[in-house]
Protein backbone atom coordinates (compact mmCIF):
# COMPACT_ATOMS: atom_id res chain seq x y z
CA UNK A 1 0.00 0.00 0.00
CA UNK A 2 1.19 3.51 -0.77
CA UNK A 3 1.67 5.92 2.05
CA UNK A 4 3.90 8.05 4.21
CA UNK A 5 6.19 6.53 6.79
CA UNK A 6 7.51 8.54 9.68
CA UNK A 7 10.03 7.03 12.02
CA UNK A 8 10.45 6.62 14.86
CA UNK A 9 7.04 7.06 16.49
CA UNK A 10 8.61 8.30 19.73
CA UNK A 11 11.98 10.00 20.07
CA UNK A 12 13.80 11.20 23.16
CA UNK A 13 16.81 13.49 23.16
CA UNK A 14 18.86 15.52 25.56
CA UNK A 15 18.85 19.28 25.27
CA UNK A 16 21.63 20.56 23.04
CA UNK A 17 21.60 17.61 20.67
CA UNK A 18 20.48 17.76 17.08
CA UNK A 19 17.97 15.12 16.03
CA UNK A 20 16.72 14.06 12.59
CA UNK A 21 13.18 12.88 11.94
CA UNK A 22 12.62 10.61 8.98
CA UNK A 23 9.83 10.92 6.40
CA UNK A 24 9.51 8.63 3.40
CA UNK A 25 6.69 8.43 0.86
CA UNK A 26 6.01 5.94 -1.92
CA UNK A 27 3.09 7.86 -3.44
CA UNK A 28 5.29 9.44 -6.12
CA UNK A 29 4.22 12.86 -4.83
CA UNK A 30 6.20 15.93 -5.82
CA UNK A 31 5.44 18.06 -2.77
CA UNK A 32 6.31 17.28 0.84
CA UNK A 33 5.68 19.18 4.05
CA UNK A 34 6.63 19.27 7.71
CA UNK A 35 4.18 20.53 10.31
CA UNK A 36 4.42 20.84 14.04
CA UNK A 37 1.30 20.14 16.09
CA UNK A 38 0.95 21.60 19.59
CA UNK A 39 -2.19 21.50 21.76
CA UNK A 40 -4.43 24.47 21.05
CA UNK A 41 -2.26 25.74 18.20
CA UNK A 42 -3.22 23.43 15.39
CA UNK A 43 -0.65 22.61 12.73
CA UNK A 44 2.09 25.08 12.02
CA UNK A 45 4.14 24.82 8.85
CA UNK A 46 7.88 24.38 9.34
CA UNK A 47 9.18 23.70 5.82
CA UNK A 48 7.81 22.52 2.52
CA UNK A 49 9.30 21.31 -0.73
CA UNK A 50 7.67 21.44 -4.14
CA UNK A 51 10.38 19.55 -5.99
CA UNK A 52 13.64 17.71 -5.42
CA UNK A 53 16.56 19.89 -4.34
CA UNK A 54 14.26 22.80 -3.52
CA UNK A 55 12.44 23.77 -0.31
CA UNK A 56 10.90 26.84 1.31
CA UNK A 57 10.57 28.04 4.87
CA UNK A 58 7.17 27.89 6.47
CA UNK A 59 5.96 30.03 9.35
CA UNK A 60 8.19 28.56 12.08
CA UNK A 61 11.40 27.47 10.34
CA UNK A 62 13.82 28.85 12.94
CA UNK A 63 15.81 26.09 14.60
CA UNK A 64 14.96 23.54 11.92
CA UNK A 65 16.61 22.37 8.71
CA UNK A 66 15.56 20.06 5.88
CA UNK A 67 16.92 18.45 2.75
CA UNK A 68 15.25 17.04 -0.35
CA UNK A 69 17.85 14.99 -2.17
CA UNK A 70 15.36 12.35 -3.28
CA UNK A 71 11.73 12.64 -4.30
CA UNK A 72 10.58 10.11 -1.73
CA UNK A 73 12.48 11.47 1.26
CA UNK A 74 12.22 14.74 3.24
CA UNK A 75 14.09 14.48 6.56
CA UNK A 76 13.71 17.18 9.21
CA UNK A 77 16.55 18.09 11.58
CA UNK A 78 15.63 19.72 14.85
CA UNK A 79 18.70 21.63 15.88
CA UNK A 80 19.84 22.75 19.31
CA UNK A 81 18.82 26.27 18.28
CA UNK A 82 15.14 25.35 18.42
CA UNK A 83 14.02 26.80 21.77
CA UNK A 84 11.00 24.59 22.36
CA UNK A 85 11.51 21.38 20.37
CA UNK A 86 9.25 19.04 22.35
CA UNK A 87 6.23 18.53 20.08
CA UNK A 88 4.39 16.24 17.71
CA UNK A 89 5.79 16.43 14.18
CA UNK A 90 3.74 15.55 11.12
CA UNK A 91 5.02 14.93 7.61
CA UNK A 92 2.71 15.20 4.61
CA UNK A 93 2.86 14.97 0.85
CA UNK A 94 0.73 15.94 -2.13
CA UNK A 95 0.84 15.66 -5.89
CA UNK A 96 1.24 19.42 -5.98
CA UNK A 97 -1.03 19.70 -9.01
CA UNK A 98 -3.39 22.58 -8.47
CA UNK A 99 -3.84 22.32 -4.76
CA UNK A 100 -4.22 18.66 -4.12
CA UNK A 101 -5.12 17.29 -0.68
CA UNK A 102 -2.35 16.44 1.72
CA UNK A 103 -1.65 12.87 2.77
CA UNK A 104 -0.29 12.69 6.29
CA UNK A 105 2.01 10.30 8.09
CA UNK A 106 1.32 9.06 11.61
CA UNK A 107 3.72 11.51 13.18
CA UNK A 108 6.74 11.48 15.47
CA UNK A 109 6.50 12.63 19.05
CA UNK A 110 9.78 14.25 20.07
CA UNK A 111 10.61 14.84 23.71
CA UNK A 112 13.68 16.86 24.62
CA UNK A 113 14.78 16.99 28.25
CA UNK B 1 0.20 37.23 6.73
CA UNK B 2 -2.51 34.78 5.94
CA UNK B 3 -4.21 33.28 8.99
CA UNK B 4 -7.04 30.90 9.78
CA UNK B 5 -9.26 31.22 12.84
CA UNK B 6 -11.35 28.51 14.42
CA UNK B 7 -13.16 30.13 17.30
CA UNK B 8 -14.61 27.00 18.89
CA UNK B 9 -11.80 25.08 20.55
CA UNK B 10 -13.97 22.50 22.26
CA UNK B 11 -17.51 21.46 21.37
CA UNK B 12 -19.63 18.91 23.21
CA UNK B 13 -22.83 17.60 21.64
CA UNK B 14 -25.27 14.80 22.17
CA UNK B 15 -25.93 12.34 19.38
CA UNK B 16 -28.41 13.58 16.76
CA UNK B 17 -27.65 17.20 17.53
CA UNK B 18 -26.71 19.51 14.66
CA UNK B 19 -23.14 20.70 14.26
CA UNK B 20 -21.63 23.87 12.93
CA UNK B 21 -17.93 24.64 13.32
CA UNK B 22 -16.71 28.09 12.38
CA UNK B 23 -13.71 28.88 10.19
CA UNK B 24 -12.60 32.34 9.10
CA UNK B 25 -9.54 33.29 7.10
CA UNK B 26 -7.72 36.56 6.58
CA UNK B 27 -6.57 36.41 2.97
CA UNK B 28 -8.48 38.70 0.59
CA UNK B 29 -7.71 37.02 -2.70
CA UNK B 30 -8.77 33.76 -4.28
CA UNK B 31 -8.38 30.84 -1.92
CA UNK B 32 -8.69 27.08 -1.78
CA UNK B 33 -10.34 25.79 1.38
CA UNK B 34 -10.20 22.47 3.19
CA UNK B 35 -11.50 20.70 6.26
CA UNK B 36 -9.40 17.88 7.69
CA UNK B 37 -10.36 15.50 10.47
CA UNK B 38 -8.27 13.56 12.95
CA UNK B 39 -10.07 10.68 14.66
CA UNK B 40 -8.58 9.41 17.93
CA UNK B 41 -5.44 7.44 17.22
CA UNK B 42 -5.59 8.02 13.49
CA UNK B 43 -3.76 10.28 11.08
CA UNK B 44 -5.23 13.44 9.60
CA UNK B 45 -7.46 12.91 6.60
CA UNK B 46 -9.36 15.11 4.19
CA UNK B 47 -13.04 15.68 4.96
CA UNK B 48 -13.92 18.05 2.12
CA UNK B 49 -12.49 20.79 -0.08
CA UNK B 50 -13.55 23.85 -2.06
CA UNK B 51 -11.69 25.16 -5.11
CA UNK B 52 -14.36 26.89 -7.19
CA UNK B 53 -17.97 26.64 -8.33
CA UNK B 54 -20.85 25.80 -6.02
CA UNK B 55 -20.00 27.33 -2.63
CA UNK B 56 -21.82 24.51 -0.83
CA UNK B 57 -19.57 21.47 -0.87
CA UNK B 58 -20.32 18.00 0.40
CA UNK B 59 -17.77 15.71 1.92
CA UNK B 60 -17.58 12.29 3.45
CA UNK B 61 -19.78 10.98 6.27
CA UNK B 62 -22.57 13.52 5.72
CA UNK B 63 -20.48 16.62 6.31
CA UNK B 64 -20.86 19.77 4.24
CA UNK B 65 -19.33 23.23 4.25
CA UNK B 66 -20.38 26.56 2.82
CA UNK B 67 -17.96 29.12 1.41
CA UNK B 68 -19.19 32.66 2.00
CA UNK B 69 -16.69 34.94 0.30
CA UNK B 70 -18.11 38.17 1.76
CA UNK B 71 -17.63 36.82 5.26
CA UNK B 72 -14.29 35.10 4.60
CA UNK B 73 -15.82 32.01 6.10
CA UNK B 74 -15.94 28.28 5.41
CA UNK B 75 -18.07 26.77 8.16
CA UNK B 76 -18.46 23.02 8.55
CA UNK B 77 -21.90 21.54 9.18
CA UNK B 78 -23.58 18.25 9.82
CA UNK B 79 -27.34 17.94 10.46
CA UNK B 80 -27.12 15.05 12.92
CA UNK B 81 -23.88 13.98 14.58
CA UNK B 82 -22.97 10.48 15.67
CA UNK B 83 -20.72 9.25 18.46
CA UNK B 84 -18.22 8.22 15.77
CA UNK B 85 -17.82 11.88 14.77
CA UNK B 86 -15.81 12.47 17.92
CA UNK B 87 -12.55 13.87 16.55
CA UNK B 88 -10.51 17.01 16.07
CA UNK B 89 -11.41 19.11 13.05
CA UNK B 90 -9.03 21.46 11.26
CA UNK B 91 -9.81 24.14 8.70
CA UNK B 92 -7.04 24.93 6.20
CA UNK B 93 -6.53 27.60 3.55
CA UNK B 94 -4.28 27.92 0.54
CA UNK B 95 -3.78 30.98 -1.63
CA UNK B 96 -4.81 30.09 -5.14
CA UNK B 97 -1.65 31.49 -6.67
CA UNK B 98 0.15 28.29 -7.48
CA UNK B 99 1.56 28.16 -3.96
CA UNK B 100 1.74 24.84 -2.21
CA UNK B 101 1.65 26.49 1.21
CA UNK B 102 -1.30 25.32 3.30
CA UNK B 103 -2.15 27.12 6.53
CA UNK B 104 -4.17 25.37 9.24
CA UNK B 105 -6.41 26.70 11.97
CA UNK B 106 -5.91 25.76 15.61
CA UNK B 107 -8.48 22.99 15.47
CA UNK B 108 -11.80 22.21 17.16
CA UNK B 109 -12.08 19.20 19.38
CA UNK B 110 -15.57 17.66 19.10
CA UNK B 111 -16.92 15.25 21.66
CA UNK B 112 -20.21 13.54 20.85
CA UNK B 113 -21.93 11.91 23.80
CA UNK B 114 -24.01 8.79 23.11
Confidence (pLDDT) at B76: 98
Parallel, antiparallel, or unpaired for β B64-68 and B73-78?
Answer: antiparallel
Answer whether residue A61 shows pLDDT above 90. Answer: yes
CA separation for the pair B7, A109 (Å, rounded): 26
B34 closest CA partner among A55, A109, A94:
A94
CA separation for the pair A14, A113 (Å, rounded): 5
Confidence (pLDDT) at B30: 84
Q: How far is A10 from chain B (nearest CA, A)?
A: 14
Query: How many of the other CB atoms lie within 10 Å of CB of A94?
Result: 22
Taking the alpha carbons of A62, A50, B43, B69 in that order, is the dihedral positive or negative? Answer: positive
Q: Do B103 and A33 touch (CB under 8 A)?
A: no
A55 in contact with B, Cβ within 8 Å: no
**pLDDT tens-digit readout, B22-68:** 999 998 788 899 999 999 988 899 999 998 899 999 999 999 999 99
**pLDDT tens-digit readout, B70-91:** 999 999 999 999 999 999 999 9
Interface test with B, best of A36, A42, A100 (most B CBs within 10 A): A42
Helix (H) or strand (E) holding A71: none
What is the overall mean pLDDT for chain A? 92
Confidence (pLDDT) at A98: 58
Answer whether residue A42 shows pLDDT above 90. Answer: no
B77-106 residues touching A, CB cutoff 8 A: 90, 92, 94, 96, 100-106
Answer whether residue A53 shows pLDDT above 80. Answer: yes
Residues on chain A touching B92 (C-beta within 8 angstroms): 43
Taking the alpha carbons of A77, A79, A84, A86 in that order, is the dihedral positive or negative? Answer: positive
Q: Which residues contact B74 (CB under 8 A, 6 or more apart)?
A: B23, B24, B25, B33, B35, B50, B65, B66, B67, B68, B91, B93
Interface test with A, best of B9, B43, B90 (most A CBs within 10 A): B43
Helix (H) or strand (E) holding B38: strand B31-38
A111 in contact with B, Cβ within 8 Å: no
Confidence (pLDDT) at B97: 67
Q: How confident is the model at residue B2 (pLDDT cuts 50, 70, 90)?
A: confident
Top-confidence residue, B102 or A74? A74
Locate the chain A residue with the closest alpha carbon to B9: A40
Question: What percent of chain A clears pLDDT 70, i.e. is strictly above it?
Answer: 96
Confidence (pLDDT) at B102: 85
Beta bridge partners of A32: A49, A93
Q: Are A49 and A74 in contact (CB under 8 A)?
A: yes
Cis amide bond preceding A8, omega within 30: yes
Q: Do B90 and A43 touch (CB under 8 A)?
A: yes
Amino acid sequence: DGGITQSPKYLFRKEGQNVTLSCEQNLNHDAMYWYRQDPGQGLRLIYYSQIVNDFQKGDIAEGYSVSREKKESFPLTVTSAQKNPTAFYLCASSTGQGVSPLHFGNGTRLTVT
Amino acid sequence: AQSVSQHNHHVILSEAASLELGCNYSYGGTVNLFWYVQYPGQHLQLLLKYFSGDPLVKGIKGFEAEFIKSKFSFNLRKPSVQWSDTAEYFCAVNENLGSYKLIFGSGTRLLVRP
